């Protein structure tokens, strides 16, 4: 990754045209070829950018060019062209304040707290969250169309398939419906009912779940981790 702080002017041409007048900015050139132009405000969003695939060509200004146009005192020009659309980003650097390059290597990716795998593990460890007398049969219970997050048994011994999402939407209800149709063909399990569990469930998903006889359960991630004691809260 190359980081350049410079006084620069930027022109974009393509589906539209845009111009950034001369000002100090941060220019980022990433290993994937993308080029981003940032100001010192505006949160994370760049003022302009070019996403890959694109090519970057740089050239220093020659004395002859400077003599032809002494009023436009740029010292280096970046020409960024998108390989497919032909869109062009031209950056003229008038003064380079900082210029550094860093090898970051392969990023391991964002590891989110509270993702579905964590919720699944926590609910399996605390299956009694669903009520007294519940028992865990298996996590990732295999079927011909994919694994059911949790297969459990309620206090009466009936099989229950549990689908877990961070945010419960209609697609999740449809997925659980398909699992239930398949599981209920197994005479050793049938009848199997379903629970759709998530940290938040959209109203439309709740309506569809209830219509199909599926119970909706809202999961409290902190309570499952033992951080938040719901009984000690005032509200």
User: 125-135: per-residue pLDDT in tens?
Assistant: 999 989 999 99
Reported as half-sphere exposure (CB side, CA atoms, 13 A), residue 137 has a value of: 19
pLDDT of residue 208 exceeding 60: yes
pLDDT digits (tens, 9 = 90+) for 138-180: 999 999 999 999 999 999 999 999 999 989 999 999 999 999 9
pLDDT digits (tens, 9 = 90+) for 34-56: 999 999 987 788 999 999 999 99
> What average pLDDT does this structure show over 178-198?
95
> What average pLDDT does this structure show over 96-124?
81
What is the set of domains in the chain, with CATH numbers? 2-101 (2.70.180.20), 116-232 (3.40.1350.10)
Residue 233 confidence (pLDDT): 42
> What average pLDDT does this structure show over 85-111?
89
β-pairing, 48-50 vs 35-38, is antiparallel
**What is the 3-class SS of the chain, one letter each residue?**
CEEEEEEEEEEEECCCEEEEEEEEEEEEECCCCCEEEECCCCCCCCCEEECCCEEEEEEECCHHHHHHCCCCCCCEEEEEEECCCCCEEEEEEEEEEEEEECCCCCCCCCCCCCCHHHHHHHHHHCHHHHCCCCEEEEEEECCCCCCEEEEEECCCCCEEEEEEEEEECHHHHHHHHHHHHHHCCCCCCCCEEEEEEEEEECHHHHHHHHHCCCEEEECCHHHHHCCCCHHHCCC
Beta bridge partners of 101: 2
pLDDT of residue 93 exceeding 90: yes
Range in 106-110, 133-137, 211-215, 227-231 the model is least confident about: 227-231
pLDDT of residue 235 exceeding 70: no
Closest CA to 202 of 161, 160, 171, 224: 171
Q: How does residue 70 score in pLDDT terms, banded at 50, 70 and 90?
A: low
* Top-confidence residue, 227 or 65: 65
Q: Mean pLDDT, the chain, as a whole number?
A: 89
Give the global pTM: 0.53
Asked if residues 94 and 119 have their Cβ atoms less than 8 Å apart, the reply is no
Among residues of the chain, what percentage have pLDDT more than 70?
A: 91
pLDDT of residue 110 exceeding 80: no
Name the CA radius of gyration of the chain, rounded: 28
pLDDT digits (tens, 9 = 90+) for 53-68: 999 999 998 877 777 7
End-to-end Cα, the chain, rounded Å: 48
Preceding amide of 53 cis, omega within 30: yes
- The CA distance from 221 to 117, in Å, is 12
- The CA distance from 114 to 131, in Å, is 22
At which residue do the structure tokens 């939407």 appear? 169
- The CA distance from 138 to 233, in Å, is 33
* Top-confidence residue, 73 or 155: 155
Closest CA to 34 of 55, 14, 11, 57: 55
Estimate to the nearest angstrom the gap between the alpha carbon of 232 and the chain centroid: 34
């Amino acid at each position: 990754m190359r980081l350049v702080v410079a006084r620069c002017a930027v022109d974009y041409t393509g589906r539209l045209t845009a111009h950034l007048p001369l000002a100090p900015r941060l220019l980022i050139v990433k290993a994937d070829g993308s080029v981003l132009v940032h100001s010192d405000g505006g949160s994370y969003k760049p003022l302009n950018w070019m996403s890959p695939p694109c090519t970057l060509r740089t050239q220093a200004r020659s004395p002859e060019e400077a003599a032809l146009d002494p009023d436009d005192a740029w010292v280096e020009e970046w020409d960024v062209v998108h390989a497919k659309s032909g869109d062009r980003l031209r950056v003229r650097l008038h003064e380079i304040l900082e210029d550094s390059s860093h090898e970051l290597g392969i990023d391991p990716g964002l590891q989110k707290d509270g993702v579905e795998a964590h919720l699944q593990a926590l609910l399996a460890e605390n299956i009694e969250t669903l009520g007294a007398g519940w028992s865990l049969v298996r996590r990732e219970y295999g079927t011909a169309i994919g694994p059911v997050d949790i297969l459990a048994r309620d206090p009466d011994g009936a099989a229950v398939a549990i689908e877990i999402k961070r945010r419960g939407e209609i697609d999740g209800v449809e997925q659980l419906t398909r699992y239930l149709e398949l599981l209920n063909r197994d005479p050793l399990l049938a009848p199997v009912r379903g629970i759709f569990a998530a940290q938040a469930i959209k109203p439309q998903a709740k309506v569809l779940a209830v219509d199909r006889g599926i119970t909706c359960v809202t999961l409290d991630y902190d309570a499952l981790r033992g951080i938040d004691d719901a009984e000690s809260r005032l509200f």
